[in-house]
Amino acid sequence: MIEKKHQLFFLMLAIISSYILLMFILLWLGDFKEQDSYRNLDSYIQVSIKHPDGSITDYPGNDFSIVHKGDEVTAVIHLPTKLYMRDSALCFHVNNSIMNLYYQKQILYRYGLEPAIKGEQIGSVYARVPIPEEAWGKELRLVCKVQEDTAYSSIHDVYVMEKINSLRYFLLSGTAGYMIFSTLLIFCTLGFIFLLFVKKRPIIYEGMLICSFCIAFSLWFLGYHGFLNLISIRWSFNNNAEYVGLFLFPPLFFAYLYKKELPGIHKRILGGLALGAGILFAGATCLNFLTENYHYVKFLQMQHIWLTAGILMTIILDLSAKHHHSDADLILRYGMLFFILTLCFELVIYNMDKYFGTHIRTLFCNLSAIGMLVFIVTMMMHYVLRIMNYVLIRKEHDMLEKLAYTDQLTKLSNRTACFQYFSTIQKNQDYALCFFDLNGLKKVNDLLGHELGDQFIITFANILHKVFAQAGRCFRMGGDEFIAVIAHEQHHPVGHLIEDLILEIDAFNASNKQPFQLSASWGVCKNDLFHPLDIQELMNQADEKMYQNKMAYKKAHAEDYSEDRTFLRDV
């Protein structure tokens, strides 16, 4: 177990070190904001679309009607000399298309044919293609054969920049988002791994659910905005990772809401939403990897419909809830509502662009990311407050349990704890019972007072615990009665333990400055593995032996009792 912990420690150390290195790289890549570092070519593009029926539609710019499977998009990209950059690269972003980029008859870049033949999803491709020096003042031709319906209505983010800076193309939409969500992805992954090794409780499962939710959304965000292309050139893998995150976070979202304390009907509805989204994710994933024609994109509209319906249902449930909201619940509620509103608006923007070719510009880009960040912060605040509440409740519960099962005078386990422990002992188990009864406690109380009587009891309890703690458990049954249970009598012979107890009592009496001497009677009964008895029968036998020894002790020390003295009798 220790070796596993060391391996886990070094794994986390390696991940954190890699993360720090990644942050330095991102800071370097993102350290360019000057417009002179890149040129937008949207105004230098002419597009013609050849439809499956043979008709051709021309567009003077980079905005055109939605293209569908079978359409062939040809974009002529002019490279005016006034925009010349030495050692430059053309960067652009196209979805779900087989692409070929030409300079005259020379192919500069191609992608999509091989995955299309294999039946794999092409997805989004972020291309960075070196521009020949002689192409300036002329034109490049990008031919895209569309493989999915309602694919796009423009060639996205067409820029020219220096080749040495072309990696920065992926960061044009903002370094901050990449840094935030890559940080979230890494540390939530570490948090999930850590929680796997923690004792499982409902609060721990809730933490694992939060980490999984953050991982899924971060994976989608980083894939959707091209960040994964910085660390992997396997476009198919990057796109699958993006869609896995996209399809996975709704069931995790509804499952997290399901874990909240809600009325029964609300929990059933949220459970159904989580189950439905989970089935959709599982089905889309299986068909994506096991078939050639059904990819995640085929199920995207269905996922949006389910997500929208689920969001509306969540709002209705939240508004109709009549139970009292704690401060932690209110924080989560407002964060969730803000996220839901931004997500709905983002879905409207996306579908207007995808299905109607209508571009809606907003004051802030990535509204869903902003809403998600707010929701994640409130969700973590809610979780921290719940953990604090859980710790306080657990501490109070442990304190009450300790009070319920502990004798307050001797600090040994009490009678209730003894019978609870007996319920865990198997009939065929190797164990022994020792009953003890203090001699002369009544005379100590009568002649020396109850304060010294309590000290009399505490002293014996401490000696008993010292002798029997390694072999079993000790209990105070009440008054002057004690029980010791030896769990494995063969490993800890009860006779040796009684001898040790006598030596400890003798040593105390020899050095005792108190006006009393310890003395006790006992009875021992061992469970016979060949003829096992139940715990009650053993208790009765041990109690009977203790009583016989007690009577024998009193008879042998009758004069000592009359002189108000107590002694230990070695039975």
pLDDT of residue 565: 46
- Whether residue 296 contacts residue 284, with contact meaning beta carbons closer than 8 Å, is answered with yes
Structure tokens at 38: 């890149």
Of 353, 343, 384, the C-alpha closest to 249 is 343
Edge to edge, what strands does the sheet with 156-162 contain? 38-40, 156-162, 88-95, 124-130
What gap in Å lies between CA 524 and CA 39, rounded to an integer?
94
Place of tokens 């662009």: 353
Q: CB-based burial of residue 69 (10 Å sphere; 0-12 exposed, 13-18 middle, 19+ buried)?
A: middle
As a whole number of angstroms, the distance between CA 510 and CA 20 comes to: 68
- For residue 82, the 8-state DSSP code is G
Give the model's pLDDT for residue 74: 94
User: Where do runs of H (alpha helix) occur along 119-234?
Assistant: 175-196, 202-224, 228-231
Residue 383 confidence (pLDDT): 81
Q: What is the pLDDT of residue 569?
A: 35
Q: How far apart are CA 151 and CA 71, in angstroms?
A: 10
Each residue's pLDDT tens digit, 266-294:
788 888 888 998 999 999 888 888 887 77
Residue 292 to residues 68, 246, 378, 390, Cα–Cα distance (Å)? 18, 21, 41, 49
Q: Dig out the tokens for 318 from the structure.
A: 């939240």
So what's the pLDDT on residue 326? 66
What does pTM read for this prediction? 0.62
DSSP conformation class of 406? B
Hunting for tokens 């070094």 — which residue is that?
10
State how far the Cα of 535 lies from the Cα of 83, in Å rounded to an integer. 94
In this predicted model, what pLDDT tens digit does every residue of 174-224 receive, in sequence order?
566 777 788 888 888 888 888 888 777 778 888 888 889 889 988 888 887
The half-sphere exposure of 346 on its side-chain side, counting CA atoms within 13 A, is 18
pLDDT at 169: 63
b/e string for 124-162 if b means 16 or more Cβ within 10 A?
A: bbbbbbebeeebbeebbebbbbbbbbbbbbbbebbbbbe
Per-residue pLDDT of the chain (571 residues; tens, 9 = 90+): 445 455 555 555 665 666 566 555 555 544 544 445 778 888 899 999 999 998 999 998 888 888 888 899 999 999 999 888 888 889 888 888 899 999 988 999 998 888 777 777 777 777 888 999 999 999 999 999 998 877 778 888 888 888 777 666 665 555 667 777 888 888 888 888 888 887 777 788 888 888 898 899 888 888 877 777 766 667 777 788 888 888 998 898 888 878 776 667 778 888 888 899 899 999 988 888 888 777 787 787 788 788 878 877 877 777 776 655 666 677 777 777 787 777 777 777 666 666 665 555 544 456 667 777 788 888 888 788 777 887 888 888 888 878 888 888 888 988 888 888 888 877 777 788 899 999 888 888 888 888 888 898 999 999 999 998 888 889 998 888 999 988 776 777 888 888 888 898 888 888 877 788 888 888 988 887 777 777 788 888 888 888 888 888 887 776 555 544 444 333 3
CA 482 to CA 434: how far, in whole Å?
8
Q: Ramachandran region of residue 470, left (φ > 0), alpha (ψ -120 to 50) or beta?
A: alpha
Cβ distance 94 to 144 under 8 Å? yes
Query: What is residue 359's predicted lDDT score, i.e. its pLDDT?
Result: 53
CA neighbor of 484 nearest in space, from 500, 468, 501, 470: 468
pLDDT at 2: 43
> DSSP readout, 408-475?
TTT-SB-HHHHHHHHTT--TTS--EEEEEEESSHHHHHHHH-HHHHHHHHHHHHHHHHHHHTTTEEEE
Token pair of 223 as six digits: 């894939």
Partners of 94 in beta bridges: 125
With contact defined as beta carbons under 8 Å apart, do 158 and 201 qualify? no
DSSP secondary structure code for residue 325 in this structure = P
